[in-house]
Amino acid sequence: MAGRGQLEILKRCYMEKDRFSLSWIKMRENYDIKSRSDLLQNQYKKDKSFFKNIIDLGSGNGSFLRYCHKKKLIFDKMVLLDYDPKLLRNFYATTYKYLGGSKYSLLKINPTRYELKKKDVIKAESIRLINANILESLDILDKYDLISLSAISDILPISFIKKFLNNIGKNKIIYLSICFDGDIKWHIKHRYDKYIISMFNRNQEADKGSGYAIGSKSIKLIKEYCIKNKYTVAIKDSSWRLNSYNDENKKFQRMYLDTIYRPLKNDNTTDKDMLLEWKKVKLKEIMAGKSKVTVGHKDILIET
């Protein structure tokens, strides 16, 4: 079990990763839905039994649950676990709005328990919210058939990944989606692209005061550890392909650009003149509707 110091480190990593908090999570949801591979859908077609009891670690405000609903991946029970109570509190409002005009309704039993129900159908999908840090939750994971983590593999410590995989019993599914792979490619190249990306990847791996973040190496390390444990592992591309053709896409690209600029602005090893020139050019291209960028992500599906 991780100590108090490690828990605080992971909290700081989460905050660094998601400084935009709720606004960033809401903006990225549509891009995540479009980018996810068909790994989970194929698993559902192959064997629906794994979808009876699901836990989503680092759930935010429930975007993975809404993804499952959109793709008609039916479950019996799902637990949403996140350290941020603000994000969990937003689950009901966002999901209620998402379901508007559909044949489904979301019933609030109490602040932590909900039911998702199709009209004229007796059976309901049960949803429970848990406010906790994932490092403190390893001992409950074996209760679930499917364990999901979205967009957080690169900020996790390798020690957690090893404990996590060792705490999962046989015949379980682990689904890690939108895992950053360190590869960022702009359609219009800039002479500082390579430098900025390398500094960003180093910053993601390194010192947010801990040295625990795996960064873009997470995919390779997770795969190696799964092979060592004789788990079956499949990996597919889930990269964002962003453009700037309308106001929404421009806004999201600006927000994404800031997730690179902001940590490097505070990084003493990054050349600030190069960083500022790079950002100004990228912003100009975004506002002109000319910017397109591919942000490398992978989905990982593990059968233990």
What domains appear along the chain, each with residue ranges and CATH number?
A: 4-182+212-240+295-303 (3.40.50.150)
Does the pLDDT value for residue 5 go beyond 60?
no
Between 4 and 104, the higher pLDDT residue: 104
DSSP structure class, residue 185: E
The rounded distance, in Å, linking the Cα atoms of 135 and 115 is: 27
Give tens-digit pLDDT for 16-44: 443 447 999 999 999 999 999 999 999 99
Query: Which pLDDT value is given to residue 11?
Result: 46
- Tokens at residue 191, please? 């002479």
Query: Which pLDDT value is given to residue 134?
Result: 87
Instruction: Report the sign of the C-alpha dihedral through residues 82, 254, 29, 298, in that order.
Output: negative
Q: Which residues, including other chains, have CB under 8 Å from residue 44's CB and lie 6 or more apart?
A: 50, 51, 73
CB 16 within 8 A of CB 22: no
Query: Which pLDDT value is given to residue 212?
Result: 64
- Report strand pairing: 53-57 vs 77-82: parallel
> In terms of C-beta density within 10 A (0-12 exposed, 13-18 middle, 19 or more buried), how is residue 164 classed?
buried
Query: Which pLDDT value is given to residue 8?
Result: 45
Q: What is the mean pLDDT of residues 200-225?
A: 80
pTM: 0.91
- Tokens at residue 12, please? 């700081």
